[in-house]
Structure formats: structure tokens, C-alpha cells
Amino acid sequence: GAVRTFMMCDAAGAELGGRSQGYVSGVRVSRGGAGCAGQCGGAEAYCCESGGTTRLTHWSFVGEGRGNYESSQAYNFVGEGQGSWIQEEVIQHHGWQIKRACVALVVLAAAAVLAVLWWPLPGPTTTTAPKAPVGVCLLWGDPHITTFDGATANYYGANEFWLVKTTRDDSVRIQARFAGTAYTKGLAATQSVVIGGHFLNGHVIEVGALDTGPPTVDRVPVLPGLGTEHAIDSGLAVLRYDTVGDLPDKAASAFPRNIIHMDLPDSVFIDVFRYKNYIDLRIRMPSLHIDGACGNFNGSPADDTTDSVFSRLGPRVPAGELLFRHHAAAQVTDAMRRMVTASCPPTRRRQAQDWCRQRLSSPDEVEGCVYNKCFGRNEHALHAAQGFR
């Protein structure tokens, strides 16, 4: 009989002979990988190929009279029963293997999946407010002031003045008392400084010259000597007393060093250099919408003059805003009066007198105010005043 071809699987395929998928002239049609469907994850037709085959022939009974006939010159009798059998060729596949092209595709697909899984996800968008610029204000001598914006201003009349005042609230308040000394021939020098405001939770720190006694916090003496330290509200502010620090005025290097360092909230740092009858100061802090003798920290030195500060904040700290216990008595020497008469232009002097009288009641306070308005830009007023003694 004719040869029929079967596809068969090995033990893993579990399909041997048997099921014919259709015949054409009695010959079975092979359907490639379909004979072992499921052995390559459903991708047999694309990614699998036979690992090897074995061809064999055997006889299969197909029923009496259903065997094949062979063409010849004549029909020969082949024996009873042979018309009921046909000869079949069986192709047995030994396992399946993945095609190389499919291996590459699987690797690429796995790499793509890993790339997606490990690709860094964008984090939450955050906006950081820019940090305010940090500036330094220096006070030294009688007193000269270098403002946060780099201007030079001078205050010669005795009184209490704003050094730093936050203009949007009462968060930071720093005031200084300027008073005359024998060394400055009656012209003011910085006698003491007082710090308060909401940023200190209502506490008040006062530090003066050595002659004024020890520093105080809320009127209570602290820092009895060099090498001591005092904390406010468990570290809200820390005060240290030592001899370490760069002097604002190099001319004072001949004097013993007595320096108080204040580490305050809101990144405010103050160094107080204590001498016998005056102090020098260094204030380092960020721009917090401030004004005062240290300037308004707006980047422009032009509006840090004594006149400009007086026009914005007045010639002295009002009694209702004073952190000191009381106003100090105004001091005006005869040399200062003679200097105003001789060296302040008449028009400017009259304007200064009118302006100061509208804001101050005491004659000495008015005269001190006039002196500041006339000579606040003069860095060498002390030397000039000595000529009017």
C-alpha cells in the first residue's frame, strides 16, 4: 500500500501516531508544530523547531477492502487480507527547541520590562523659597556705622535709636543707647544695646559697657565672667562670654578683649565688644524687611543716611516702644553748639531745627537732633568738635 506520514511526539509530547488530521489520496498531511501544541507556550509555529526526528515504517490495519492499490501492468493477487493493510511512514520528533531569533526577542523584551520597572519615577515637585541674603552691620567708636548695604552713617547726639526693627511685625527689635563720654569729648558713643521682640519669646537681653555692670536677661544678671555661658528657654538663644573674635575697630586692639557672642533665633548673630565706657557691635542677620540705623537692607546704600533713617523712624525710639527701662538724659556740649553755629549752613540748620522741634520736646534733645542732621554724614565730626572746645 501507499505510505502515509505521521508526526509523533516523544514522551514529553505525549502524542504518538493515532489521530490523523486529514488525508489527501490516503496520505496524512503533516502540520508542522501543531502536532505538539502547547509544548512551547503556544508559540510553536513561530519560535519552536524540532530537536530531531526518526523515520520508521509499519503496517496499519484500516479495514477490509480499504487498503491501497498500486498501479501496474496487471493486477496480481497478493494474498488474502493484504488488501486490508497499508504501509505508513511515521516521523517521530525528539523534543522541541527555541529558535535563536526568538531567544534574542525574549532578551530584548525582558530588558525593556526591566528598564520600565527600574526607571526612576519623578518625585513630587517641591518649591524652595530662596534664602534671604545675609548682611553685617558694624558699630564702632563715636559711633560710626557701616550698614547692611555698605553705607557709612554717623550718630553723634545722645539718645536711644533703632538699630534694627522689622517693619512688618515686632519680630526683631534691636535698640542702642548713644551717650557722650570723656574720651569722645561729649559726642555720643554706643553705651549699651538691648534686644527683644517675638523672636525671643518676649525675653529682653541687655549688654552695656564694663562700667554699666553685668549683662542681663529680663533684668536678671547673667554671664558673671569670661568663660561663662547662658541659655534662654533651653537653647532658644545662647550667650557666651570670652575673648575670641575679630574687632570691628582695629584701633581698639590695645584694650583687653571682653566679647559676648549671641546666637539668636532666625539666624541672627550679635557680637558685643565691651570696653570700659562704650561698646562696639557686629550684627549678622538675613534681610527680614528691616529698618534702622543699620539700614533697610534693600541693596541701596543711598537711603541709609542719618537723615533718611530719621525721616522713616523718627529721631529717637518712642517711649511706648522703648526696650530700655527709661530714656537717658540728652547731652549737648558747648563745643557741639558752637560747631552747629559755625559749620552747619544756615538754611540746613533752620530746616533741621524746625524738623526736630516738631518731634521732640526737650531743648537738649532738639539740639542733639540738629547736630545729627547737620553732621551725620561727617565721619570726622569728633575731630571737628575738638576745634570748638
Residue 41 confidence (pLDDT): 54
Same domain (yes/no): 232, 317: yes
Does residue 182 lie within any of the structural domains? yes
Q: How many domains does the chain have?
A: 2
Measured in whole angstroms, how far is the alpha carbon of residue 21 from the centre of its chain?
75
Same domain (yes/no): 54, 178: no
Same domain (yes/no): 96, 156: no
Cα–Cα distance list, 63 to 2, 86, 279, 351 (Å): 15, 10, 128, 138
Q: What is the amino acid identity at position 106?
A: V
Same domain (yes/no): 217, 310: yes
Nearest to 214 by CA among 175, 258, 247: 258
Does residue 33 lie within any of the structural domains? yes
Does residue 92 lie within any of the structural domains? yes
Contact 192, 204 (CB under 8 A): no
Residue 67 confidence (pLDDT): 62
Same domain (yes/no): 175, 219: yes
Residue 95 confidence (pLDDT): 60
Cell readout for 324 is 530700655
What count of other Cβ atoms lies within 10 Å of the Cβ of residue 80? 7
Among residues 294, 315, 331, which one ends one of the domains?
Answer: 331
Same domain (yes/no): 204, 315: yes
Does residue 340 lie within any of the structural domains? no
Q: What is the pLDDT along the chain (389 residues), one digit of tens a residue?
A: 444 444 444 434 444 444 444 433 444 444 444 444 555 555 555 666 666 666 666 566 666 666 665 555 555 555 555 556 666 666 665 565 666 777 777 788 888 878 777 777 666 665 565 677 899 999 998 889 999 999 999 887 788 999 999 988 889 999 999 988 767 666 789 999 999 999 999 999 999 999 999 999 999 999 999 999 999 999 999 999 999 999 999 889 999 999 999 999 999 999 999 999 999 999 999 998 999 999 999 999 999 999 999 999 998 999 999 999 999 888 788 888 888 898 899 999 999 999 999 998 889 889 989 988 888 766 554 544 544 45
Same domain (yes/no): 146, 199: yes
Q: How far apart are CA 279 and CA 139, in angstroms?
A: 8
Residue 15 confidence (pLDDT): 41
Does residue 355 lie within any of the structural domains? no
Cell readout for 123 is 518625585
Residue 302 confidence (pLDDT): 95
Same domain (yes/no): 143, 204: yes
Nearest to 375 by CA among 47, 60, 107, 154: 154
Q: How far apart are CA 218 and CA 305, in angstroms?
A: 32
Does residue 243 lie within any of the structural domains? yes
Residue 336 confidence (pLDDT): 83
Among residues 313, 331, 349, which one ends one of the domains?
Answer: 331
Same domain (yes/no): 62, 158: no
Q: Please give the residue range of the domain that contains residue 281.
A: 134-331
Same domain (yes/no): 191, 293: yes
Nearest to 81 by CA among 93, 67, 95: 67
Does residue 229 lie within any of the structural domains? yes
Does residue 347 lie within any of the structural domains? no
Among residues 331, 366, 382, which one ends one of the domains?
Answer: 331
Same domain (yes/no): 97, 188: no
Same domain (yes/no): 184, 310: yes
pTM over 0.75: no
